[in-house]
Amino acid sequence: MGEWPYMLNGVDKFKEECGVFGIYVNEEKTIASSVYYGLFALQHRGQESAGIALTTGSDFIVSKDVGLVSDVFDEDFLNIKGIAAIGHVRYSTTGGSRAENAQPLFSKYKLGNIAIAHNGNLVNADIVRELLEDAGVIFQTTIDTEVVLNLIARAARKGIERAVFDAMQAVKGSYSILILTDDKLIAVRDPHGIRPLCLGKIDGGYVLSSESCAFDAIGAEFVRDVEPGEIIIIDKEGIKSFKLVEKTKLETCAFEYIYFARPDSFMDGISVYESRLRAGEELFKESSVDADVVIGVPDSGTFAAVGFSNASKIPYSIGFIKNKYIGRTFIEPKSQLRERAVSIKLNPLKTNVEGKRVVLIDDSIVRGTTMRRLIDILRKSGAKEVHVRIASPKVAYPCYFGIDTPYRSQLIGAVKSVEEIGREIGADSLAFLSIEGLLKALNKESFCLGCFSGTYPVSAPLEIDKFQFERNE
């Protein structure tokens, strides 16, 4: 242990983050299955473990394990009726990928039960944990999220609302959190709204989700995004909301739009799909090129390629067929096979590239593995020229807010110039979208752009060790 997980399992790129889903219906219904379908729609955000916590008003039941949503829950659990439930799909950022680290985290305290599901990453979890341990608290897991659970449980005698409010004052970083008590569903979004969270309605009740695509999956109606720094409390009295801090500023992670989120989701008023199309259009305006065909790298490069083609009038064509059975977690059995991984995932359609000058579009370059391999494959398939256009700025800095990024030294954009990257991947030309171009595509001013600019909404440590709480075990 001690290495980051992409070193352990061979995944060498930005990994997604977690997904949360919650429901409150007030009279007993089979809501575990609603959360199940919601989590299914959020599966792309985390594939390490899945879990659901449910309250009937008198009983509190938690089911969770490592694995995909479709593997973790059995039918008996999904048929249980309850009044409120929360669910989580995990991609670990602090604490290893183990069954005991699966969320929702759960605690029984003097006044009742509490469960918590977190998307994001706390940058001061080490300090808070140390203080709690000094005060005698015993931690059950090695993840950052547990500090919030313990802070709330310790303060719960003041009333749950006050306890949540006080707990959130103590932590720093990114969090979209759902909390379930015996009779309440609570949502909290950090003061910068770094990770997404939205509110919907269903059958006289409410739903909360990381992404709006999960509402569509269960027939819920989108109401609004949770505001940065907002706490929402739903119980039998209805819904109420208050602010965690006076000053808040929405700075959603720009990478949600570029790559992480599903294209059929809307986040903070922006269609993910449309933002990707516009990024392709902006990319053409900034870095046009003479070519015969535009092709996109499936999945997330496809939409920008369509945008580039629309703006340039160069025909869009399908250049690669993706193996359907490879998820975003595709793990190579041996590191020597890493280079082959791209060919197993993507195979070229020779007829569409042979003898052609190709513009190859992808959403991002992290280590450069995908691009290097694809250009080689295209040349072997007879492409005359390969011009690479990337629909986001050069990634040069790591992320501390709920995404597992390689160390800086492993980010090709951190150590090399655009020209050097172009040479290394073997492109005839290479251009990235500028930060200004990205902001035009997003059609708003304020986002977290930390991994492009090195300036983060919340000050972050130099390097965070994912396994910081596993050292002394």
Report if residue 370 touches ligand PRP, rule: CB under 6 A: yes
Task: Return the number of other C-beta atoms located less than 10 Å from residue 130's C-beta.
Answer: 11
Residue 451 annotated as binding site: yes
Choose the contact partner of 293 out of ligand GLN, Mg ion, ligand SF4, none; CB within 5 to 8 A by kind: none
Q: How far is the CB of 449 from ligand SF4 (least distance, A)?
A: 6
Angle CA 152–157–163, to nearest 5: 35
Do the beta carbons of residue 393 and residue 435 sit within 8 Å?
yes
Of residues 261-300, those binding ligand PRP (CB under 6 A): 297-300
Residue 290 annotated as binding site: no
3-state SS, one letter per residue, for 323-378: CCCCCCCCCCCCHHHHHHHHHHHEEECHHHHCCCEEEEEECCCCCCHHHHHHHHHH
201, 206, 209, 215 alpha-carbon torsion, rounded to 10°: -30
Round to whole Å and give the CA distance between 77 and 79. 5
Choose the contact partner of 121 out of ligand GLN, ligand PRP, Mg ion, none; CB within 5 to 8 A by kind: ligand GLN
Of residues 450-469, those binding ligand SF4 (CB under 6 A): 450-451
Do the beta carbons of residue 117 and residue 177 sit within 8 Å?
yes
Residue 362 annotated as binding site: yes
Extract the runs of DSSP E, i.e. beta strands, from 236-319.
238-243, 252-253, 266-267, 270-271, 293-296
Instruction: Provide CB contacts within 8 A for 281, sequence distance 6+.
Output: 307, 308, 310, 311, 441
Q: Which stretch binds ligand PRP (CB under 6 A): 32-40, 197-205, 367-375, 397-405?
A: 367-375
Out of 17, 190, 230, 251, the residue judged to bind ligand GLN by CB under 6 A: 17
Q: How far is the CB of 280 from ligand GLN (least distance, A)?
A: 28
Report if residue 145 touches ligand GLN, rule: CB under 6 A: yes
Do the beta carbons of residue 418 and residue 429 sit within 8 Å?
no
Report if residue 49 touches ligand GLN, rule: CB under 6 A: no
Report if residue 410 touches ligand PRP, rule: CB under 6 A: no
Q: Which two tokens stand for residue 359?
A: 């513009």
Choose the contact partner of 359 out of ligand SF4, Mg ion, ligand GLN, none; CB within 5 to 8 A by kind: none
Out of 206, 401, 432, 469, the residue judged to bind ligand SF4 by CB under 6 A: 401
**Sign of dihedral through CA atoms 148, 151, 157, 163?**
negative
Report if residue 119 touches ligand GLN, rule: CB under 6 A: yes
Return the number of the residue (93 or 309) whose C-beta is nearest ligand GLN.
Answer: 93
Residue 198 annotated as binding site: no
Residue 265 annotated as binding site: no
Catalytic residue among 16, 17, 18, 231: 18
Residue 166 annotated as binding site: no
Report if residue 113 touches ligand GLN, rule: CB under 6 A: no
Q: How far is the CB of 299 from Mg ion (least distance, A)?
A: 6
Instruction: Provide CB contacts within 8 A for 215, sequence distance 6+.
Output: 38, 198, 200, 202, 207, 209, 221, 222
Instruction: Provide CB contacts within 8 A for 6, sequence distance 6+.
Output: 12, 13, 15, 404, 406
Q: Is 335 exposed, middle or buried (0-12, 13-18, 19+ CB in 10 A)?
A: exposed
Round to whole Å and give the CA distance between 290 and 463. 42
Q: DSSP string spanning 308-323?
A: HHHHH-PPB---EEE-
Round to whole Å and give the CA distance between 124 and 116. 18
Report if residue 188 touches ligand GLN, rule: CB under 6 A: no
Out of 364, 381, 392, 405, the residue judged to bind ligand PRP by CB under 6 A: 364
Binding pattern to ligand PRP, positions 240-259, x when CB under 6 A? -------------------x
Q: Which stretch binds ligand PRP (CB under 6 A): 49-57, 60-68, 229-237, 365-373?
A: 365-373
Out of 5, 6, 13, 118, the residue judged to bind ligand PRP by CB under 6 A: 13
18 in active site: yes
Q: Which two tokens stand for residue 403?
A: 């995404």
Residues that bind ligand PRP (CB under 6 A): 12-13, 259, 297-301, 328, 362-370
Positions touching ligand SF4 (CB under 6 A) are: 194, 253-255, 399, 401, 403, 448-451
Residue ranges of the binding site for Mg(2+): 300, 362-363
Catalytic site residues?
18
Binding site membership for [4Fe-4S] cluster: which residues?
Answer: 253, 399, 448, 451
User: Binding site: residue ranges?
Assistant: 253, 300, 362-363, 399, 448, 451
